[in-house]
Amino acid sequence: MINTNEDKIRKAFENKTWQEIKVKDSWQIFKIMAEFVEGFEKLARIGPCVSIFGSARTSREHHDYKMAEQCAKLLTERGYGVISGGGPGIMEAANKGAYEAGGKSVGLNIDLPFEQFHNKYIDRDKLIEFNYFFVRKVMFMKYSQGYIILPGGFGTMDELFEAITLIQTGKIARFPIVFVGKSFFSGLFEWIEQKMLGEGKINEEDLNLYRVVDTAEEATEHIFRFYDKYLLKPNF
């Protein structure tokens, strides 16, 4: 009977399953490449877009859902397309606002065992299904000219902090990042200022990489003012 990890590894080599695993990993490269190619081909000519993030669990009656919908409508009125994660909740609200206002409605959906199914407000030619989170995040970074963040969970935090990190380190061009909902985000940003900044983990100018507001009008106006000042260009 195999009782230890060493025994399992030895057994795997004896059965040549280790080599089979390595071959499988190599073939996975082609699946990853295929997702990149599809994303680049569909999004390359999409024009200026803003990504709207937030919880998949937000109900259609919730204030945050209405806020995301309004943000999307205001963006499309100024010629921006809207990108979401393609699923329900805040993502659906963002696509709905863009779709009903006649703007471009993009959905970058991810295959998950729960919660995630693409919503009906995505333009059919702008729906992309992903298996890999990291490929999906590259598409958000590469084809967004701004981020609007509404209350969400770990996935929302993951996407926003990656964007802030890439901008902070100069790996992508700076674009506006706006948080909507001071009451929800206040504790997070108090901690950032008191702990990260207070203990010298970030610089004071890093606090200028984002803005926290309470209304859809404030969120979108921050993006509009940013591009009144800076030349609008893709993030690559």
Give the pLDDT of residue 207. 96
Q: Count how many residues are written for the chain.
A: 236
Give the pLDDT of residue 10. 63
- Predicted confidence (pLDDT) at residue 233 exceeds the cutoff of 70: no
CATH 3.40.50.450 fits 48-229, yes or no: yes
- Predicted confidence (pLDDT) at residue 152 exceeds the cutoff of 90: yes
Q: Are 149 and 179 in contact (CB under 8 A)?
A: yes
Per-domain residue ranges of the chain: 1-44, 48-229
Give the pLDDT of residue 234. 42
Give the pLDDT of residue 226. 93
Give the pLDDT of residue 214. 97
Measured in degrees and rounded to the nearest 5, phi and psi for residue 221 equal -65, -35
Give the pLDDT of residue 28. 85
Angle (nearest 5°) at CA 52 between 122 and 82: 45
Q: Which residues pair with 148 in a beta bridge?
A: 52, 178
For 60-76, what is the mean pLDDT? 97
Whole-angstrom distance, CA of residue 114 vs CA of residue 189 = 30
Q: Are 147 and 175 in contact (CB under 8 A)?
A: yes
Give the pLDDT of residue 23. 57
Q: Are 103 and 82 in contact (CB under 8 A)?
A: yes
Mean of the per-residue pLDDT values of the chain: 89
Whole-angstrom distance, CA of residue 178 vs CA of residue 147 = 6
Whole-angstrom distance, CA of residue 17 vs CA of residue 14 = 8
Give the pLDDT of residue 204. 96
Give the pLDDT of residue 235. 43
Q: How confident is the model at residue 4 (pLDDT cuts 50, 70, 90)?
A: low
Q: Which residues pair with 108 in a beta bridge?
A: 128
17-21, 70-74, 93-97, 179-183: segment of lowest average pLDDT: 17-21
Give the pLDDT of residue 21. 58
Q: How many alpha carbons fall within 13 Å on the CB side of residue 179?
A: 24
CA distances from 162 to 35, 158, 166, 167, 184 (A): 20, 6, 6, 9, 20
